[in-house]
Amino acid sequence: MAGKEQSDSKNIKKGTWTWLGGVAAMLLVKGKAILALLKLSKIASPFISMLISIWAYTLIYPWQFAIGFVLLLLIHETGHVIAAKRIGLPVSAPLFVPFMGALITMKKQPLDAKQEAYLAFGGPLLGSLGAAACFALGYVLDSPLLYSLAYIGFLLNLINLLPIHPLDGGRIVTAVSRWLWLVGLIGGLAVIIYMQSVLFFIIWVLFAYDLYGKYVKRRKNSKLNSVTFNFTIPADSLREQGYFIPGPDHRRELPFTTYSNLERQQILEIHWDSLNYSGTAALPVQCLVEKVEVKGVDQLETYNGFQLKARCEVHFKLYENDKYYDVPAGTRWRYGVAYFALASILGGMIYLVHVVGNINV
C-alpha cells in the first residue's frame, strides 16, 4: 500500500502546474461561454458542474484526490460567497469547470475598492483554512494524499494572492495601493519564468495590456463603446389614432437622460416624443453617454396587443471614477497587513507540508 500511495502522490504532483494554470485562466476569462452551457438551472447547475469536475479529475488523479480537490475549490469559492453576503452584494452559486477551477459571478459591482478587497479576501482566507484542515488531518492520519491536498491548497491560494487582475490578490491590493499592480507585473513575469506556464503568460500579457489601456492609452484616446437595448412600446392606441408607425429600417437619434440610483447603478432614460414613450435601462458600467440611436423597429402582434420593439444602440465612453479607490489610511494599513500576513503564512505552510509530509511539486 505504501508503494501505491507514493505512486499516487507522484501522479498528483506531475499535473499540478497544469491545473494551476487552468484555474488562473478561468479566473481571467470568467467562463462566460462555459457558463452559458452550465446554467441549466440556478439550483442544479452548481451540483452538476461539481460532479462533472470530479469525474474529469479522476481521469488523471486518484478519485480520492479528485473529490478532495473539488471540495477545496468549493471552500475557496464559498469564502467569496460569504464575504459577498456580509456586504450585501448578490452573487451566483459556485460553478465548476474541469481543469479550470471554479468561479462565482457578481450580479452587482462593488461600490468601492474596500468592498472589492473584502469580497476578494474571502476566498483565499477560507480556502487557506480548508487546506490547513487537510494538513492537520493528514498529520493525524499520516496520509500522503491529505498532505498533497494541503500542499496544493496552500499553493493555489498563495498564487491567487499575486497582485494581478483578475486574481484575488489583484483585487485586494486595490484597497492597499495600486502601485502593487506594478509589483505584480514584474513578479508575475518571474512566476511565469519559474513555472514555464503558457497560460500564466497569457494572463500576464492581458494584465499588462489592461494596465496600458487604463493608465496610458486611455489618457491619449478615450474609446467610444456601444451597447444595444430593446425597448417594448405599447402601440395599440397609436395605430388606432393613425400615428406613423416606424419600421425595421427606421433610424433616428433619441433624446435621453442618465442618473444613478441609491445603489449607484447608472440608469439610462430615453424619450421618444412622437410615440409618447419613455423607457429606462440599466447601463452595464459607469459611463458618459454620447448618443442613443434607433437601429430599427419590429412590429409585433402579441396577446398583450400590438407592440413595437425598438432596437436602440447606446454610444458611450467609460468613466473612471477615481473616488472608487479612495480608502481611509487605517483601512489601507489593515488590508495591507492582512494581505502580507496571509501570504507569509501560506508560504510557511507550504514549507511545513514539504518538511512534514515530504511533498515536492
CA distance 276 to 256: 14
- Residue 106 DSSP code: B
Which carries the bigger pLDDT value, residue 216 or residue 160?
160
Is the pLDDT at 265 greater than 90? The verdict is no
Proportion of the chain above pLDDT 70, given as a percent: 83
Determine the pLDDT at residue 102. Answer: 79
* Three-state secondary structure readout of 129-197: HHHHHHHHHHHHHCCHHHHHHHHHHHHHHHHCCCCCCCCHHHHHHHHCCCCHHHHHHHHHHHHHHHHCC
CA distance 132 to 346: 10
| Three-class secondary structure of residue 345 per DSSP | helix
Is the pLDDT at 118 greater than 70? The verdict is yes
32: nearest Cα among 100, 122, 99, 120: 100
Neighbours of 160 (CB within 10 A): 25
| Three-class secondary structure of residue 309 per DSSP | strand
Which carries the bigger pLDDT value, residue 101 or residue 282?
282
pLDDT tens track for 205-237: 888 888 877 766 555 546 778 899 999 988 877
Q: Please give the angle made by the CA atoms of 296, 301 and 303, to the nearest 5 degrees.
A: 135
Is the pLDDT at 188 greater than 90? The verdict is no
Determine the pLDDT at residue 21. Answer: 56
Grid cell, residue 158, equals: 498563495
Strongest mean pLDDT among 8-12, 18-22, 40-44, 134-138:
134-138
What's the whole-model pTM score?
A: 0.69
Grid cell, residue 145, equals: 494524499
Which carries the bigger pLDDT value, residue 72 or residue 45?
72
- Residue 245 DSSP code: -
Which carries the bigger pLDDT value, residue 339 or residue 35?
339
User: Furthest-apart CA pair in the chain: how many Å?
Assistant: 87
pLDDT tens track for 311-331: 999 999 877 666 778 889 999
Bridge-based pairing of strands 256-260 and 224-234 is unpaired
264: nearest Cα among 146, 115, 60: 115
Determine the pLDDT at residue 32. Answer: 47
Least confident interval from 192-196, 216-220, 257-261, 299-303: 216-220
Is the pLDDT at 24 greater than 80? The verdict is no
Which carries the bigger pLDDT value, residue 284 or residue 67?
67
Residue listed under C-alpha cell 458542474? 49
Determine the pLDDT at residue 50. Answer: 84
Residue listed under C-alpha cell 459611463? 287
